[in-house]
Amino acid sequence: MNKIENLAYLFAAMMNSDGKVNIKELNSWYQIVAKRWPGVSEEQAGDAIKNSLYSLKSQNQVERINNLEKVLAYLKCNLKSSDLDNIAKDLSKMIQADGLISIGEINLAGLLKWKLGVDINFN
- Phi and psi, residue 39, nearest 5°: -75, -10
With a cut of 90, say whether residue 97 has pLDDT above it. no
Q: Is the pLDDT of residue 98 over 80?
A: no
The pLDDT assigned to 96 comes to 86
Domain at 92, CATH number = 1.10.3680.10
Answer yes or no: is 58 within a domain. yes
For 11, 64, 123, the CA distances from 33, given in Å and listed in that order, are: 11, 23, 22
pLDDT at 59: 96
Answer whether residue 122 is part of any domain.
no
State the residue range of the domain holding 8. 3-116
Summarize pLDDT for 1-23 with one digit per residue, the tens. 899 999 999 999 999 988 889 89
> What's the residue count for the chain?
123
Q: Count structural domains, the chain.
A: 1
Cα separation, 25 vs 69, whole angstroms: 22
pLDDT digits (tens, 9 = 90+) for 44-56: 999 999 999 999 9
pTM of the shown model: 0.91
121, part of any domain: no
